[in-house]
Amino acid sequence: MSTISIATAAEVFELLKDDLAAIEVEFARQSSSPVTVVTDIANYLISGGGKRIRPLLLLLSAKSLDCQSEARIRMGAVVEMLHTATLVHDDIIDEANLRRGRPSSNTTWGNAKCVLAGDWLYMQAFRTALDERNFRILDLLISLTQEMVEGELLQMEKLGHLINEEEYFDLIYRKTACLFKVSMQLGAVIADSAAGATGISFEDSLGEYGRNLGLAFQIVDDVLDLTANDEVLGKPSASDLREGKATLAVIHALERGTGADREAIRTVLADRSFKRITHADILEILNRHGSLSYAMDTACAYAEAARQSVADLPESDYKRALLWVPGFVTSRSR
């Protein structure tokens, strides 16, 4: 690792504020349809905000390689459209009523309209990507789509069942880290394309950064789901357990707990409720076995691996920003 300093949050915002604002405009423009309900649902989702971490990663990837092409704005909108479409589908699959502290779109427009609007957003993202006339971009997006759909199907098969760490990491790679990885790779691809691919390609190392960061991000999400309150999360806490999902801290406690501990966790996963075993009971088990700390330590290890992945990047303010992001991911409260 070089001795280059890590950027501050204020420096990262200043570096990217104009590009992120341009991506918001492009996202809104691309989400406009002659069919009013599509535009209404898309505008509702856009206004819900979000961290915009995936377009932020694409921008940092591209600009760390000195890319000035407007493709970075278009592709930033593409990855956010893809992410938004998957959230719509996730809310329908999970029968969620809240998203970011507001009613989920399907509670307002219904499942049928929202699944179709999600499909429309996904295809609009591909239409925008197609305009780049770059087969590598399409290859990455098609593989990403297959990985994410496979991840959702695998998770549905495992709901209510016990899984091991290997299965857990496979799931969170497919469902979350894969999009982080591809966002970083896309930044490198458009930078290579703009430069005529004459220099060293950093696609693999930037992709590895995205993979490690995405794993850290999802592990932290899963810990927050167990520990944060409803108001902070913007949705009911412990939703994963209520949906029958065993996440890393829970898997850790299952492997180390007493027979009574394991039975309590199995009961919640099977019941998909806290009617017989309370949320507080589960937290006591997780704390007693150090399972929450274990999960956070694992997330921090992946965050550090992300930093190591970009050690050979040319030194710049954008590299400094990439070194900042992992700390943001592991220290956030929502």
151 Ramachandran zone, left/alpha/beta (phi>0; psi -120 to 50) = alpha
Query: Is residue 2 over pLDDT 60?
Result: no
Q: What is the pLDDT of residues 208-217, one digit of tens each?
A: 999 999 999 9
What pLDDT score was predicted for residue 121?
95
Token digits for 99?
Answer: 């998203």
Tell me the C-alpha distance between 192 and 62, whole Å: 9
Q: Is the pLDDT of residue 237 over 70?
A: yes
- What digits encode the pLDDT tens for the residues 33-80? 999 999 999 899 888 877 899 999 999 999 999 999 999 999 999 999
| Of residues 47 and 17, more confidently modeled | 17
The domain defined by 9-331 folds into Farnesyl Diphosphate Synthase (1.10.600)
Give the other-Cβ count within 10 Å of 230's Cβ.
13
For residue 93, name the pLDDT band (cuts at 50, 70, 90).
confident
121's CB contacts (< 8 A; 6+ apart) are 31, 42, 81, 82, 84, 85, 88
State the average pLDDT for the chain: 93
Cα separation, 47 vs 21, in Å, equals 13
273: tokens are: 């409720």
- Lowest-pLDDT range, 15-19, 102-106, 173-177? 102-106
Is the confidence at residue 1, as pLDDT, over 80? no
- Greater pLDDT, 264 or 94: 264
Among candidate residues 333, 221, 220, 223, the one with its CA nearest the CA of residue 286: 223
Q: What's the farthest any 2 CA atoms get from each other in the chain?
A: 63
| Region 288-310 average pLDDT | 98
